[in-house]
């Protein structure tokens, strides 16, 4: 297989540059023809589709003005880098650039008219520009369409004959050489490395174990089509998150399956090998470095402490248990109402620590006053992480009383039990949906934050704090697992709204920052985690489809279902009136507590407790009295 591809793959850099010049020259020639044809058609249409009706003076003006306009068009397109695009990667961005380029072109055309003082019909300019713009845009998108059709036809014709998986390896360094050596020596694999991509242009034309280095990341899509690549391996563990994102964004447009090596910090001292390869995940496309925390501070906080995690079997709770267990606590208590979740994290920690961890797993509900009190009194935890809550927005809209019973009253009962048991630090896991909430779940978590602030003012020996963050990738019930399941089933993938955005962080990152924030706790703070830039859910869905080797809206349909009850387009992290203070960790901020009457609040909590038990349909009205910023979204 290596001999078969060698003659056409062993290209020096100058040949690849020559190919780019050739492609660009063809597009430039097409652009010139478009200018000539578009403005001639504009004249032709103006004079009733009759060449003989066109006055000689207009034809003469057309003939001597066109060369100048062609030069202007090509120069401006070059300045806007419209001849530099990776043709198979043309997207909406190139369309926007084309609009900007044409805005400049129109100004230039108008200037030439006044400077050279020539006269043409007004429709000549209008129709000519519209036709030319449409054709120029069409040229750039047609290449992608043709390449896609060619690739689909080739795959369908060759798929039955050839089961060999041709592999492109990105990275011509040490990691890439190890991957290539293993692939070539493994007699049981159908994967054959046929080319290598490396951004070091001095390596182009060289070989690794007989596999040629043929181009840089800018050539990935072109070369993936040329070599019929069905699998891409990103073997650059030292790459920055931004570089990795850039490369993967190009790779996902090839239609090939993409795998990657973990980053250097994830590999630690483990050797690079094929067994370490994993499928590319959405987190790889976030484009930022992994969040780091001061492990020594967290270690000092958790070491030799008895720690209770409510909701310890959930997505956040279980990761809290994992990270706490790694910091040598005196005792870790998992408290959850769902026995299956609790059992899974219990068994995972038992397998990992082989009895070296003092682990207690208890089943119970934070809504049960006697149960939570007895657990607190029996184990006397030093630190409580309260992660137990109902979190699904649409479900809580339909069962608001349950949200109040579990989230609000469960938090209140757990917080009071902690005070009576002498807990030193109580940490509430909150959400960005508590900011100007439009749904009952968010409003219930805002009340929980108010409970934390009130309890801190009224309890001398316990520090109460809340940590607020957005969505976590891969958590139970989040969009990513849902999208993956829908893709596996062949679609459609359902997105509530094309413009909906959310803040995202990985579960380990969010929990690491929760632990770090807890270290800063003095009492009464609402810690706000910087979740980075917001992400469009529509983009997430499309990227997941592409990472699976499918094409959005072609292989897998995307259906927009409309915003769900209580859902809003944009989540916020901090209420304006709270202000913001910085901490030693630049990703953790502190919201200033809002002043409130504690006695009035306690009376309102008592009323809310009664109303929630009665399944009062006006429960949202009671919540609005307590949280004035809660404005239910009208559906």
Active site residues: 433
CA separation for the pair 108, 444 (Å, rounded): 59
Judged by DSSP in three states, 150 sits in helix
Q: Report which of 195, 153, 286 is spatially closest to residue 2, judged by C-alpha positions.
A: 195
Query: Residue by residue, what is the 3-state secondary structure of 195-239?
Result: EEECCCHHHCCCEECCEEEEECHHHHHHHHHHCCCCEEEECCCCC
* Apex 330 CA angle, 385 and 340, nearest 5: 55
Residue 600, judged by CB atoms within 10 A of its CB (0-12, 13-18, 19+), counts as exposed
Task: Identify the DSSP state of 261.
Answer: P
Structure tokens at 581: 């203070």
Q: Residue written as tokens 């089509």?
A: 225
List residues bridging with 334 in a β-sheet. 309, 361
| Cβ–Cβ < 8 Å for 106, 129 | yes
Looking at the chain, the number of H-run helices and the number of E-run strands are 22, 22
CA separation for the pair 195, 273 (Å, rounded): 18
The H-or-E segment that residue 596 falls in is: none
| Cβ–Cβ < 8 Å for 303, 327 | yes
Structure tokens at 597: 């009457």
Q: Report which of 492, 546, 535, 500 is spatially closest to residue 89, judged by C-alpha positions.
A: 546
CA distances from 270 to 240, 259, 279, 323 (A): 19, 18, 18, 21
Judged by DSSP in three states, 589 sits in strand
Sheet arrangement for strand 207-208: 207-208, 211-215, 191-197, 165-170, 231-234, 257-260, 278-279
CA distances from 53 to 57, 59, 118, 122 (A): 12, 11, 19, 17
Task: Identify the DSSP state of 556.
Answer: B
CA separation for the pair 623, 404 (Å, rounded): 9
């Amino acid at each position: 297989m290596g001999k078969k591809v060698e003659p056409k793959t062993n290209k020096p850099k100058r040949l690849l540059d020559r190919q780019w010049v050739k492609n660009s020259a063809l597009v430039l020639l097409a652009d010139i023809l478009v200018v000539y044809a578009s403005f001639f058609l504009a004249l032709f249409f103006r004079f009733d589709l009759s060449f003989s009706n066109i006055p000689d003076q207009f034809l003469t003006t057309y003939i001597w003005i066109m060369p100048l306009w062609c030069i202007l068009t090509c120069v401006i397109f070059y300045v806007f880098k419209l001849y530099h695009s990776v043709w198979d990667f043309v997207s909406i961005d190139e369309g926007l650039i084309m609009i900007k380029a044409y805005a400049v072109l129109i100004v230039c055309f108008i200037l030439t008219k006044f400077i050279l003082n020539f006269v043409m019909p007004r429709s000549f300019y209008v129709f000519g520009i519209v036709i030319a713009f449409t054709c120029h845009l069409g040229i750039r998108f047609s290449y992608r369409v043709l390449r896609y059709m060619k690739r689909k036809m080739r795959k369908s014709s060759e798929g039955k004959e050839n089961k060999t998986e041709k592999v492109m390896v990105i990275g011509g360094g040490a990691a890439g050489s190890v991957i290539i050596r293993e692939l070539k020596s493994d007699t049981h694999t159908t994967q054959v490395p046929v080319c290598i991509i490396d951004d070091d242009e001095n390596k182009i034309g060289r070989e690794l174990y007989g596999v040629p280095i043929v181009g840089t990341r800018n050539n990935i899509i072109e070369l993936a089509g040329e070599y019929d690549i069905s699998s891409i391996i990103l073997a650059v563990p030292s790459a920055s998150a931004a570089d990795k994102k850039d490369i993967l964004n190009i790779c996902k447009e090839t239609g090939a399956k993409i795998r990657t090596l973990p980053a250097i910090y994830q590999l630690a001292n483990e050797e690079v090998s094929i067994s370490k390869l994993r499928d590319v995940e959405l987190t790889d496309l976030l484009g930022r470095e992994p969040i780091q925390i001061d492990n020594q501070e967290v270690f000092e906080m958790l070491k030799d402490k008895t720690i209770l995690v409510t909701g310890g079997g959930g997505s956040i709770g279980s990761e809290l248990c994992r990270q706490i267990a790694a910091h040598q606590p005196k005792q870790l208590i998992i408290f959850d109402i769902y026995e299956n979740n609790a059992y899974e994290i219990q068994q995972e920690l038992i397998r990992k620590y082989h009895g070296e961890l003092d682990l207690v797993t208890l089943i119970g509900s934070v809504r049960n006053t006697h149960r939570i009190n007895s657990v607190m009194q029996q184990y006397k935890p030093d630190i409580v992480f309260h992660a137990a809550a109902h979190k699904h927005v649409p479900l809580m809209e339909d069962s608001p009383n349950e949200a109040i019973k579990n989230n609000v009253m469960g938090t209140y009962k757990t917080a009071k039990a902690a005070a009576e048991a002498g807990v030193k630090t109580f940490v509430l896991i909150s959400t960005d949906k508590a900011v100007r909430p439009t749904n009952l779940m968010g409003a219930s978590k805002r009340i929980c934050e108010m409970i934390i602030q009130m309890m801190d003012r009224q309890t001398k020996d316990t520090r109460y704090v809340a940590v607020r963050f957005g969505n976590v990738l891969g958590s139970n019930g989040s969009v990513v697992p849902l999208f993956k399941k829908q893709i596996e089933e062949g679609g459609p993938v359902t997105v509530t709204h094309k413009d909906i955005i959310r803040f995202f962080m990985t579960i380990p990152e969010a929990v690491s920052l929760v632990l770090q924030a807890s270290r800063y706790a003095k009492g009464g703070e609402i810690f706000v985690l910087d979740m980075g830039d917001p992400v469009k859910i529509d983009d997430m869905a499309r990227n997941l489809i592409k990472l699976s080797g499918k094409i959005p809206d072609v292989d897998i349909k995307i259906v927009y279902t409309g915003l769900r009850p209580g859902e809003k387009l944009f989540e916020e992290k901090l209420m304006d009136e709270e202000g913001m203070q910085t901490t030693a960790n630049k990703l953790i901020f502190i919201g200033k507590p809002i002043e409130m009457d504690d006695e009035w609040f306690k009376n309102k909590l008592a009323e809310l407790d009664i109303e929630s038990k009665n399944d009062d349909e006006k429960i949202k009205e009671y919540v609005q009295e307590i949280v004035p910023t809660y404005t239910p979204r009208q559906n």
